[in-house]
Amino acid sequence: MRDRVIVAIDTPDVREAVRLAEALKGRASHLKVGLTLFVAEGPSAVGRLRGMGFDVFVDLKLHDIPHQVAGATRELTRLGASMLTIHAAGGRAMVAAAVRAAASAAEEFGVPRPQILAVTVLTSIDAAALDDMGVHRTPLEQVALLARLARSEGADGVVCSPEEVADVRQILGPEGTVVTPGIRPSWAAAGDQLRVATPGSAFASGATYIVVGRPVTDADDPSAAFERLVADD
């Protein structure tokens, strides 16, 4: 299970990011760099964590015109990201552009191609929030629609909440990658995420990887919290 846990490093300070990475070395194999750390420290943060031996999931949720997303995907591929996120709501052309850019950049730079993961509906959004945005579907209906769109354009997988994992697994089949944030072990508070589950429950539903941040990174002893997390069902 530990190789399927991605720890989100969301500090704005690269020194703190390195401290957390050191604490998790030999336990976690995947770290996530999101907007906070990337905006604060830039691409070098990815290199620092990769240099420590971690696979780095760059979670910027790219959402722009296809040309811009292709350019950003090329650069993230060059950095050595193992996975990166785009918003499925950007549409078919945008998803396809990211997929093509990852493949061509991997060949150009002689690096492994990162997995392109399409974000469906954020875990902080519920049915009422979707309705406010003019999306008159349930979260599950919207996730399913976007998962099918992303898969049809070549995305390797999707990001969805634990509540939709089982349905998304049916859509993607056994080979598709399902990354699941909104993970809160039984001993942690849900915080600002509304559609959550325990690690064991998410894996049982069909998640490939789970993403967890604050329950580990805010702990007094991150390494002990990580071990407690992987034992949580």
Residue 20 parent element (H or E): helix 14-24
Catalytic, 61? Answer yes
93-123 pLDDT per residue, tens: 999 999 999 999 999 999 999 999 999 999 8
Beta-carbon neighbour count of residue 31 at 10 Å?
A: 24
E strands, the chain, where?
5-9, 30-33, 55-62, 83-87, 115-119, 157-159, 177-180, 209-212
Read off the amino acid at residue 131.
Answer: D
What is the reported pLDDT for 221?
94
Reading the block at residue 216, the tokens are 């580990």
Which range marks the domain in which residue 138 is found? 2-230
pLDDT at 220: 92
How do residues 153-186 score in pLDDT, each as one tens digit?
Answer: 999 999 999 899 999 999 999 999 999 998 877 7
CATH code of 205's domain = 3.20.20.70
Catalytic-labelled residue, pool 19, 27, 50, 61: 61
Cα–Cα distances (Å) from 204 to 62, 144, 171, 183, in that order, read 29, 19, 16, 13
Burial class (CB in 10 A: 0-12, 13-18, 19+), 221: exposed
Neighbours of 204 (CB within 10 A): 14
User: Would the pLDDT of 195 be above 80?
Assistant: no
- How many structural domains compose the chain? 1
pLDDT band at 190 (very low <50, low <70, confident <90, very high): low
Q: Tell me what percent of the residues of the chain surpass a pLDDT of 90.
A: 82
